[in-house]
Amino acid sequence: MTYTVIVPARYASTRLPGKPLLDLGGKPMIQHVWERAVEAGADRVVIATDDERIVEVAQGFSAEVMLTRADHPSGTDRLAEVAERLALDDEHIIVNVQGDEPLIPSEVIDQVAANLAATTAASMATLCESIEDTQTLLDPNAVKVVFDRQGLALYFSRATIPWPRDHDWSDPQMPHGQWYRHLGIYAYRAGFLKRYQDWVPAELEQQECLEQLRALFQGERIHVAQACAPVPGGVDTAEDLAALRKRFPAG
């Protein structure tokens, strides 16, 4: 199996401007992400950014980096530009590793690529983890996913799906059943990314603010499996950054 990792990294961020370049233990955050991707089994790792400052820093630690257009509405569209410019074959597998996840395990990157390679019915693959507490189950920021016996996604939602109809929510214990939280790592076939660029956002996607619903709406199949290792969350807020810096002593 051969695959390429693309790390989309935007400079602009409402809550943390310049997030990819923020220091963690003497290295910019984007370097930690790149190192995790290099440790995986990818044949190539490319940082895709819309900002010259990130290009300069990435070149400083010998990463392959590509300056992309600044007007992409999503990270998936940025990946599509890179795939086109690299002239990747339609069946070539691309793994999207977010530029704000410096603790992502390299084995998880390999896993999602291998899952897609083994599932010819799917044009995308992603991962999930079990939900073990009621707070997460009811949290709209924790995206839930349900899938069939072949591991193909049926739906993603911010709502609690499936809904335990007979559960008494005054009981603090978890209801009986099994729920899965979606993790934001994806593998794509390059041909899918070409198709994706031509689709307008679906109403479901707009209602839930989940761009993977655009693919389901178009009839594409998404493979889902439980991650083979715990996947820490990314960095979205100053609080996330402060907590993460405790795990990266200054170098």
Q: Say what the pTM is.
A: 0.93
Q: What is the CATH number of the domain that holds 136?
A: 3.90.550.10
Which residues lie below 8 Å from residue 168, measured CB to CB, with a gap of 6+? none
- The reply to whether 194 falls in a domain is yes
Nearest to 76 by CA among 236, 182, 181, 201: 201
Q: Which residue has the higher pLDDT, 180 or 232?
A: 180
**Strands 64-67 and 93-96: what pairing?**
unpaired
Q: How far is CA 161 from CA 109, 132, 155, 165, 231, in A?
A: 26, 14, 9, 11, 21
**Domains contained in the chain, number:** 1
Question: What would the pLDDT profile of 50-78 be if each residue is shown by its tens digit?
Answer: 999 999 999 999 999 999 988 877 778 88
- The reply to whether 250 falls in a domain is no
Tell how far CA 48 is from the center of its chain: 14
* Whole-number Å distance between alpha carbons of 11 and 51: 6
- The reply to whether 86 falls in a domain is yes
- The reply to whether 113 falls in a domain is yes
- The reply to whether 131 falls in a domain is yes
* Whole-number Å distance between alpha carbons of 76 and 163: 30
Which conformational region is residue 200 in: left (phi greater than 0), alpha (psi within -120 to 50 degrees), or beta?
beta
| Range(s) of the domain holding residue 74 | 3-168+175-245
Question: What would the pLDDT profile of 66-116 be if each residue is shown by its tens digit?
Answer: 999 888 777 788 899 999 999 999 999 999 999 999 999 999 999 999 999
Q: What band does 251 get if pLDDT is binned at 50, 70 and 90?
A: low
- The reply to whether 251 falls in a domain is no
